[in-house]
Every structure is written in C-alpha cells, then in structure tokens.
Amino acid sequence: MTPTLFSPLQLGAVTTPNRIFMAPLTRCRAEAHNVPGDLSVEYYRQRAAAGLIICEATSVSPTGFGYPNTPGIFSDAQVAGWRKITDAVHAAGGRIFLQLWHVGRISHPVFQPAGALPVAPSAIRPKGQVFTGTAMADYVTPRALETDEIPGIIAEYAHGARNAKLAGFDGVEIHNANGYLLDQFLRDGTNQRTDNYGGSLPNRARLTLEVARAVVDVWGGDRVGIRLSPGGVFNDMRDSDPLATFGYVLRELTPLRLAYAHVTRVTAQDVAHGAVEGVGPRELRPFYSGTIVSAGGFTYETGNQALAEGWADAIAFGVPFLANPDLPARFHTGGALNAPDESTFYTPGEKGYTDYPQMSAGVGA
C-alpha cells in the first residue's frame, strides 16, 4: 500500500503514528546559561501531535554557540530544563529527539569563552554577518582545529548524547548540515586540511563518521538520526562534487543502522542564493537503504507525493509547524493554515511562539 503522511512508520526503535515530523527550528528563546525555560515547555507540548518532534539545534559545548539565546546540552541545568520539555511532550503522547549541534566557524568571539576565535576545519572566514545580540557584525576568520583537539570534539558530542538520554529524549539527531562544524569538515569548500581529516573524501568524512559512531555507542543506532544538506549553500558552503560526497557518507553510515537520515532538498530560496538542483534525497536514495526523512518547503500535497514516489519515508515541516501547533489535524481536515509572523521568529517572549491559535479555538476548521 502506498504510504501517506498519515501512515505510521517504524523509525528505528520508535513507532510514529504519522509521518508529519516537526523540523528543528532555532527560536532563540533559551534563558540564562542557555537553559530552555517554561515557555519552551509549552511550545513543544503544543506540537506533540507530530509523528516526531526534532528539537531545535542544541550546542554540545560552550564553544559551539553562534546565536543568542540558543540552548545547550552540556550542563546539569540544561539537562533539567530539557527534562521538563520531554516530560510534557510524553504526557501529551508525543515523541521527541534532540538535535546535537556545534556551529564551528559560524560564530563570533562574543559567543566564545574568553572571547576566543571560533573553531573550524580550516582558517577560512565565511561571507556574511552574524547577529551578536546587539548588532550585526562581520564573521571573523576562525582558528583551525589542531589534529589532537579533534578527539575532544567527538567526546563533546558523546557527552551531549549521554545528557540527552538523561533529559528523557527518545533519541538524538546529529546536525551535520547547513554549514555548521561537521558539514564544514565534510565539504571541500571549507576543508583545506592536510592531515587525516582533510584532502580525500574518506578523510573529509572521517569526523562525521567518528561522531556518528560515538553517538551510536551511547544510544544504539536505532535511536540516532543525522541531518545532511547536500545541495545547500547556507552559511557560505560549497562542495565540488556533492553527489559523490554525500553518497559516500550515506553508504558509510548504512552499517550503523541509524533510525533515519534527514536529507534536505534544495528550495527556491536556496537556488536564489546560488544552489543548484540535482542533489537531494531523490538523487541520493540509491546510496542509502535506510529510512529517509526530508525537509525543504514541502506542502501537504508535495509531501504525500514524495512518499508515494519512494524517495522519502517521512517529511519534516518547519515554518508550517512553527505557525500551526496542530498541523497534523489541519492537514487531516483540510483546515486553513495560520500565516507565520516572520518578525517574531527569533524574538523573545510568547508572541509568535506559543500564541498561534489552534483549530479548537475556532480557527481554520
């Protein structure tokens, strides 16, 4: 039978009642010391009808931040904050994974301990600017990690994975996408190293695979996902042969029997910033026999089409879930969708966060 967005899915060790997943969405609402607060408890609880909630990107290290008011998963207080969220989501019948994150060069000394330089595979400054919390500032040239520092990075991901288990998550997703640290190591546009972590494709993929194995050692493969953005150019990213690069990674990940690979597709916004069509979940499906979750501007109709064509097994919705906490119900009934308020995507407070109306309030029924 052809699956639809309302078909259940066996996602590794987790059974999801539908294939309408909530994509990870940075919302910049964490409180002091990068601890998620009570407002975030309500935000995620409202969206528990998702087949799976993939939480916002969460730093595994004090050096992993690059945006104001984003959460971490390396301190006891952060674990306690997340525990309130997982308890609320589970009480509402939901399933929830945490996305493990290190931004690498997409940072600024203002976010770094003692004002240090951000770290990266190579000392290549990204184009663009970063919001420091008070103003926009040019990105700086990062410091290239020394070879003997890399085991410490892997250990930070493993520590974050262990803390996510203590916080009550159902699993974790490794953020290996969107121009952040692991993606920077993987692609030849940002990795110009000459040691065992640079040069050849197997060397550039080494950190991705070592982190994946370390996280699997904590959780087991059936509760671990990984996010990849093969066609993305966000954060000044490029690769000379993305089909070969990401095809290799997916083949090498297959023996780990991960719960899923979360592979984004190229959107119109990506194309407007220089991305090229032709490398995404459809093209990479032959390289990976496991479950593929995809994201990237899907609608109810195009999501069902991707499932029917077999190049995706579930669809992660970002902005639609941001503005519609009851998105599965709206899809099921054909209810109208709330319009997202972009001016509140990253601002503090409940406006544009927990105050979007649900159909039970008479909207979109």
3-state secondary structure of 274: coil
Please provide the size of the chain in residues: 365
Distance CA 76, CA 70 (A): 16
Of the listed 43, 139, 180, 197, which one is catalytic?
180
19 has which bridge partners? none
Q: Is 44 a catalytic residue?
A: no
Written in H, E and C, the secondary structure of 197-240 is: CCCCHHHHCHHHHHHHHHHHHHHCHHHEEEEECCCCCCCCCCCC
Distance CA 345, CA 139 (A): 22
3-state secondary structure of 294: strand
Residue that has been written with the tokens 């719960």 in this structure: 259
Distance CA 261, CA 290 (A): 7
Do residues 22 and 47 touch, judged by C-beta distance below 8 A?
yes
Residue that has been written with the tokens 């994974």 in this structure: 97
Please spell the DSSP secondary structure of 301-322, one letter per residue.
HHHHHHHHHTS-SEEEESHHHH
Per DSSP (E only), the strands in the chain are 9-11, 14-16, 20-22, 53-59, 96-101, 119-120, 129-131, 136-138, 143-144, 171-175, 224-228, 260-264, 292-295, 314-317
* Token reading at 25: 């969405």
CA 89 to chain centre: 19
The amino acid that residue 43 corresponds to is Y
Which residues does the annotation mark as catalytic?
Answer: 180
